[in-house]
Every structure is written in C-alpha cells, then in structure tokens.
Amino acid sequence: MKQFPGDTTPALDFDLPGECRKVAEALFPSNSPSPARDPEAAADFAKALGIGAEYRRLMKVGRGTDEMRKFLGHFQNNLDLLIQKTWVEKVDEARKEKLQDEVPPFVALILAGDFRRAIVEFGAILDGLAYLLFGTQSAGDDFTEYTFRIDIEMGLFWWYGSRLRGPGTDGDSGDDEFLWALLLIGICYLTNF
C-alpha cells in the first residue's frame, strides 16, 4: 500500500511513535475519517512540531493584515530557497521549477480566503517537496516511518501532510476557520524549516 501526502490510509505495520500518538490522534482521531475540529488539538499539534508559539500568535492575526502578508512572504521566500537549494538530477529540474511556480498561486489563494482550494494545493506542494527532498523514497510504503527515523518532528510533519487530503480536509468541509488552522500548521512548519 502506497502512502504519500494525500493517502489517508496508514502505512502497513506502522504505528506512530508513542510520544506523538496522543497529540496526533487528538487532531486526527484514528476512529474517525475526519480530523477533530478542536482548536486546542491543532495548537497542541503545532507545539509538538516545535512551532506552537508562532502558530498561536498567527491564529490571532487577521488574515488580511500586513503582518499576515509579511509572514506569508517569509513562508514563500523560505520555501523558494528550500526548493532552489535542493539538488536534483537534470531530469527533475522541470519538476523543481513547476513546484516553484505553484507557491505564489497558493499564497494568493490564502490571501483571497479560498482555503478549500488552498488545502488541495498545499497537498500538491507537499507531494512535490517530498519528492525533491527524499526522491522516490517519498512514494514508498514506508515514507512516513522513514521520516520518523530521521527526526520525530519531521516525521510528524510528513504524517500530518499525509492526512491533509482526507475527509473533512478535502475542501468540502465548509469550515474555513478549521481549514485555515490546518493550513497554518504546515505553513508555520515550512517557514521555520
């Protein structure tokens, strides 16, 4: 069974590490196909990723404010630098350029408040980024487990990415505040990556 950002089925024989299980299952309950719509669960998840203080601060910032535009500019610049600095084979240069081209429209969707489309686009960005960073390993059955072996926070982030296109986050939830909270977790993490 292939697991990648967008696949909501856990990898075969993979259990979340104990130190992550409680916070992960509070936001993405194992007994439900949809994430919990609990702001504290989202904040606790962000804290487990090491971005809790920034996440809480930004949840209080209006999305149309100069402060949020500045933060999204930092996100875009950091992601662009990450993509540029990623070494790839010549055959993958077009994939790298395509990913760079996807970031500005994604930021525009956020600024426009279109979180339903933004979360779908973010999943695609994470797919592309995972490939650039990890190569074909990112499409393997054991990708999430592999990232946990590298670093617990990194593994938790890619596990989160694998949950973004599941029921309740697929753009049909109608709950823009919740979709924004889920997006902000990933945006904060990548801004500080």
Token pair for 132? 């650039």
Q: Tens digits of per-residue pLDDT, 48-107? A: 999 999 999 999 998 889 999 999 999 999 999 999 888 878 888 889 999 999 999 999
Q: At what angle do helices 176-191 and 115-134 cross, to 10 degrees?
A: 30
Q: Which amino acid is at 49?
A: L
Per-residue pLDDT band at 170 (split at 50, 70, 90): low
CA pair distance 6, 82, nearest whole angstrom = 22
Cα dihedral sign, 164-140-93-157: positive
pLDDT at 32: 82
Question: Distance (Å, rounded) from C-alpha 141 to C-alpha 10?
Answer: 9
pTM above 0.85, yes or no: yes
Quick check: 2 pLDDT over 60? no
